[in-house]
């Protein structure tokens, strides 16, 4: 789960990390009032859950309350990178001597957190690593030992800091690590962390991404999903509510399977035959008729989907339950889109009988099923 910048900054501030003074506005009038209260030049930032908003025109500067009002009016209700802006963060413009990068993220290859820092911030860390890799400081964090202040000091020294500034920077980095641990973060970063002319630091921009699998430990964030404050698509939200594993992709063939490995193999087979999967959807082992009905409803609700492939290898999952779920969806809403079904395994004969008697053809080969659904989509699309 991605948090808005203003949400992340509230959390960062609770951990003692310095942030600029500012408030959120949902109207241009509020933006003017906030700027008048701050009584300094400000930055007006669109609050959207996508990266690269600055380059897309989502960050504007204002020297007066009137300019802030105009900036907010320009941003609010505008679309930036396909996302509508409903709020802006109005905060003081910080005088800067140098921009730094500090981040804590997960290194899946090493199976641990990694601390990443650079004396060059203000741009994507991948861009810094590509252009000047020598300016990146990385420290893999032993999960059994953790990230301690002395390790943070080592990083700060490698960034070229000494004395009081080094201690101050190390303290901020250590607090960032504690925040990442407490919030089960996949990413917690400050980019840029500003070094001010008075040699103090302030987090000018922050990002916090929380592991979805840990949301049960963060009720205040989980409730946010129900309020619509999320970057998830409607299908991903519905799948989360139904306890289904779903990921939106960019194709036009809906995929439903039981078991992550089988679904991944189905995606590969679809592509082998020239098709483009629209999603990953795993109903899991032991999927009931209700779960299959929920899965079909989710996939069919995607306007990009032109046809659906259901691929079931019955082990714990019973093929007759899958068949009943398919018929339940047809009974409720009908099939506005073609559906290809492959059933093999437990109660296979009964599942096939149920579907065949209902006039729905069932295949036994995954390759034949993939070829068939790609053929259907190509014919409908004129390909």
What is the CATH classification number for the domain harbouring 160?
3.30.470.20
Which pLDDT tens digit goes with each residue over 2-33? 899 999 999 999 999 999 999 999 999 999 99
Residues 6+ apart with CB under 8 A from 189: 101, 102, 103, 104, 105, 116, 125, 176, 206, 207
Same domain, 250 and 127: no
- pLDDT for res 230: 57
Pairing of strands 339-345, 307-314: parallel
Number of domains in the chain: 3
- 163 or 56, which is more confident: 163
Task: Judge if pTM exceeds 0.85.
Answer: no
Token pair for residue 65? 């309350």
Alpha carbon distance 104, 354 (integer Å): 53
Residue with tokens 């989509």: 377
In a domain, 12, yes or no: no
pLDDT at 345: 83
Contacts of 88 (CB under 8 A, 6+ apart): 24, 25, 26, 31, 44, 45, 46, 47, 71, 72, 75, 76
Q: Where does a domain end: 192, 219, 246?
A: 219
User: Which are the contacts of 264, defined by CB distance < 8 A and separation ≥ 6?
Assistant: 280
Q: Which of 33, 60, 92 is the last residue of a domain?
A: 92
Q: pLDDT for 155-195, tens place per residue?
A: 999 999 999 999 999 999 999 999 999 999 999 999 999 99
Contact by Cβ (8 Å): 269, 367: yes
Q: Residue 383 has which token pair?
A: 């390909």
Whole-number mean pLDDT of the chain? 89
Residues 81, 107: one domain? no
Q: Which of 48, 71, 92 is the last residue of a domain?
A: 92
**pLDDT tier for residue 383 given thresholds of 50, 70 and 90:** very low
1/49 Cα distance (integer angstroms): 10
83 and 122 together in one domain: no
Cα→Cα distances 121→12, 112, 117, 192, 220, Å: 18, 24, 9, 5, 31
Average pLDDT over residues 96-100: 93
Q: How far apart are CA 186 and CA 208, in angstroms?
A: 8
| Catalytic residue list | 101, 189
Domain assignment present for 227: no
**How large is the average pLDDT for residues 259-279?**
94
* Residue 248 placed within a domain: yes
Over residues 372-376, the mean pLDDT reads: 93
- Residue 212, pLDDT above cutoff 60: yes
- Look up the domain containing 52 and give its range: 21-92
139 & 267 share domain: no
Is the separation of the CB atoms in 253 and 310 below 8 Å?
no
Residue with tokens 């040699």: 199
Mean pLDDT of 349-358: 88
| Average pLDDT, integer, range 193-209 | 95
In a domain, 13, yes or no: no
**Does the structure show a pLDDT above 60 at 240?**
yes
- Residue 333: pLDDT over 50: yes
- Clarify whether residues 187 and 212 are in a common domain: yes
pLDDT band at 231 (very low <50, low <70, confident <90, very high): low
- Looking up residue 77, the CATH number of its domain turns out to be 3.30.1490.20
Q: How far apart (Å, rounded) are the C-alpha atoms in residues 258 and 65?
A: 57
The answer as to whether 10 is a domain residue is: no
C-alpha distances in angstroms, 179 versus 51, 122, 186, 275, 354? 21, 21, 11, 43, 54
Gap between the Cα atoms of 315 and 312, Å rounded = 9
> Is residue 368 included in any domain, yes or no?
yes
Whether pLDDT at 380 is above 80: no
Predicted confidence band at 144 (pLDDT cuts at 50, 70, 90)?
Answer: very high
Q: Let me know if residue 5 belongs to a domain.
A: no
DSSP 2: B
Which CATH number belongs to the domain containing residue 279 in this structure? Answer: 3.40.50.261
Q: Which residues contact 361 (CB under 8 A, 6 or more apart)?
A: 341, 355
Q: What is the pLDDT of residues 286-307, one digit of tens each?
A: 666 678 788 888 998 898 999 9
């Amino acid at each position: 789960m991605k948090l808005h910048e203003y949400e992340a900054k509230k959390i960062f501030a609770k951990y003692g990390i310095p942030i600029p003074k500012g408030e959120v506005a949902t109207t241009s009038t509020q933006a003017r009032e906030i700027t008048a209260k701050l009584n300094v030049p400000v930055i007006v930032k669109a609050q959207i859950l996508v990266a690269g908003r600055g380059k897309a025109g989502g960050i504007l500067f204002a020297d007066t309350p009137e300019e802030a009002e105009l900036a907010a009016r320009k941003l609010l209700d505008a679309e930036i990178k396909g996302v509508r802006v409903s709020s802006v963060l109005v905060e003081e413009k910080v005088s800067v001597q140098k921009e730094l990068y500090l981040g804590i993220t997960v290194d899946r290859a090493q199976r641990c957190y990694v601390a990443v820092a650079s004396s060059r911030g203000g741009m994507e860390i991948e861009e810094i690593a590509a252009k000047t890799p020598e300016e990146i400081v990385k420290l893999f964090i032993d999960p059994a030992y953790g990230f301690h202040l002395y390790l943070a000091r080592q990083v700060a020294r490698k960034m070229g800091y000494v004395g009081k500034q080094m201690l101050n920077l190390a303290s901020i980095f250590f607090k960032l690590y504690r925040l990442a641990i407490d919030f089960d973060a996949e990413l917690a970063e400050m980019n840029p962390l500003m070094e001010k002319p008075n040699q103090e630091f302030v987090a000018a921009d922050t990002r916090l991404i929380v592991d979805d699998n840990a949301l049960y430990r963060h009720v205040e964030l989980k409730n946010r999903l129900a309020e619509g404050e999320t970057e998830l698509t409607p299908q991903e939200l519905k799948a989360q509510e139904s306890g289904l594993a779903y990921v939106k992709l960019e194709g036009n063939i809906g995929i439903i399977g039981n078991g992550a490995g089988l679904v991944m193999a189905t995606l590969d087979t679809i592509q082998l035959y020239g098709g483009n999967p629209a999603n990953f959807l795993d109903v899991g082992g032991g999927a009931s008729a209700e779960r299959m009905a929920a899965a079909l409803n989710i996939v069919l609700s995607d306007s990009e989907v032109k046809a659906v492939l259901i691929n079931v290898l019955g082990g714990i999952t019973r093929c007759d339950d899958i068949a009943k779920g398919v018929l339940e969806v047809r009974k409720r809403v009908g099939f506005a889109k073609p559906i290809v079904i492959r059933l093999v395994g437990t109660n296979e004969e009964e599942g096939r009988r149920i579907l065949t008697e209902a006039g729905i053809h069932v295949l036994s080969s995954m390759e034949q099923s993939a070829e068939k659904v790609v053929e259907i989509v190509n014919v409908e699309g004129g390909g």
